[in-house]
Chains A and B, each alone.
Chain A
Amino acid sequence: MPDVVRYTARRLLLMIPTFIGATFLVFFAGFALPGDPIAALGGERSMSESTRQQLIERYHLDEPVWQQYFRYMGDVLQGDLGVSILRRREVSDIFKEVFPRTVKLAGLAIAIEIVMGLSAGVLAALKKDKFLDQLVLVSTTFAVAIPVFVLGFAAQNIFAIRLDIFPIGGIQDGAWSYVLPAFVLATLSLAYVARLTRTTLSESLNEDYVQTAKAKGLPQSRVVGRHALRNALIPVVTFIGLDLAGLLGGAIITETVFNIPGVGRTIVQAIGTRDHAIVVGLSIAAVIVYLVISLVIDLFYAVLDPRIRYE
């Protein structure tokens, strides 16, 4: 068996305990929170005691938590994520609605991050201590310093309300709806990517093998692109990969400001109403996504650095 296959199989097996541990934590954390999921249904007024009992029995809330956990995990293995108490909807239906939105938002944000962050980083490294480098330094400082919600509302006021280029929010304009929020979401990571690229690239530009390549008379584009950058990219790829995995868990503030009903916003709202099925169901899905992506990143290292072997 090739090493990569054996490595992948081992990683997949290791996911099982990770998965069980993560779901266990999410499930019990949800139940450890004070508050009653049934109470939130009636608003500021009490429902009849009989209705309360009916709902408690329907959602098995009278069972001990561990028993609920095993019942729930049994259902999950059969592809059933449970039913939302407040909304009376299948969590898997809710997941099918919200997850693609988060994927679109995160995907676009990552694309922006890669294109703009990498370019800015490479330019800054090549023009070190020149005007361009200073510009990248100053603008990334701003990007890191401004809170996302301030940036979001500012972007809305300028690009939606005043200039009327983008919709103010919502997802009713298709892919176009995601552009402005993706830029806002990408800003922070973009700044990190730019700085990280600048640092690692300027380091590897000073390495002996790069100097050698230069001395051989290779064109600069080849020296940078093929020799220096490839090595410098390893930490950047790690960062971007983990960032993507994180973003797929939902971007709560951006989703709220731009009214995009994605994973993050949905989970936060469900925590407020103690709608455990939504919280646990969507979190489990997010856990799986995270595990798979981190595996893909690890496999991707080999492509960047042939010295890395999977054993």
Chain B
Amino acid sequence: MGKSLFEKVWDAHTVRTLSNGQTQLLIGTHLLHEVTSPQAFGMLRDLDLKVAYPHRTFATVDHIVPTDSRVEPFADPLADAMINELRKNCAETGVTFFDMNTGKQGIVHVVGPEQGITQPGTTIACGDSHTSTHGAFGAIAFGIGTTQIRDLLATQTMALTQLKVRKVEVNGSLRPGVYAKDVILHIIRKLGVNGGTGFAYEYAGEVFENFSMEERMTVCNMSIEGGARVGYINPDEKTFEYLKGRPYSPKGEEWEAAVENWKSFASDPDCEYDDVVVIDAADIAPTVTWGINPAQAITIEESIPTVDSVKESEKAITAEALEYMKLEGGAPIKGTKVDVCFVGSCTNGRLSDFEEVAKYLKGHKVAPGVKAIAVPGSQIVDAICKEKGIDAIYREAGFEWREAGCSMCLAMNPDKLIGDQLSASSSNRNFKGRQGSPTGRTVLMSPVMVAAAAIRGEISDSREVFDIRETANA
């Protein structure tokens, strides 16, 4: 019987079985950022341990960087201390650091793929739950805590329990105006916010085969929002095409050998999955969240659920969400007034996200009273957008074009909601207080839907705002 990609990668990286029954797994690629790593370096110093494989750890700074001015020292002394701590830790241990002066800084999950560090058939870990993003390349990528960062720095391995594998198949073609973000919000809505606990999700079927690498990253990125620590897509020609010529991709004769090796990791056609879910692409519409977790989502055409309409086990959380969001059950979500619009994050902060929005933004203006910001996922995304004049289209429409970072996805920098502002956001979490104000409200959606909300000043159907129609032969 064949094996899944997850099993093949797991087997190739297994060191041994530990006394508690877990596997000691080699993690070939370790990514670091400034928020979850300083304590790990501190623990290493306390234990007098060295970084075992410094050439396999790569760092950047993303969460705390201001996106308006990068002049140092930063206005926030705590943020300034954090970037300098990371600089010091990398310099002392020989870890590669994509600092702001390299032109390669950005959100760690944008930088890894962009540099060609993220490769098929590898294991990747980072002290960040959205590490699942890298699974888009057929890597097995884990979000980890700080003590595990220490373990990785000291040994390049960590203790893990093997996951089961659920194949999530989405077949058919997406309707016009439906994006990767809608696909993953739909999956989370269907399978639940904890439906993936204990599983790795293998995304398969025509929709993912047809997706670009960046669309695949958007889907894998939010696996954890459905409880799945790992999400991946089997590598194919698109994967190899994306990686060819990137700074850390294999070169010359090593390239051919690497591609052959990468192909061998794809799931075998006869492998058995622990579970299979099949979804029809035609059932997916532009999707938005209405509540306080990413599974509390509806299509733009639906009404917000009432407490009475949901099953018993969801009544309490539905009531809690409606109260927090100040929304009325039974009312349409369309037409809800927005205060802030955010395009960016490790979910939707890549070149194609900004390009797609720019296609529709031309000739439109952000509604009066709405604050709209666009934050590129990396300095490279920023540079390409500027080269192509994309930033100008955003500015002309009334968006602020910022510098690269995580920004308003979790508001660890100065970009925050104020009071109970409602934000239309292309990010990944709508938890209470997520965007920096303890009473701030977040509605997750695709970047094009964010642009539609910005223009109308209320949550809108982007297909109506931008006249995106079903083609005659669709």
A, B co-complexed: no
Binding site for A on B (CB under 8 A): none
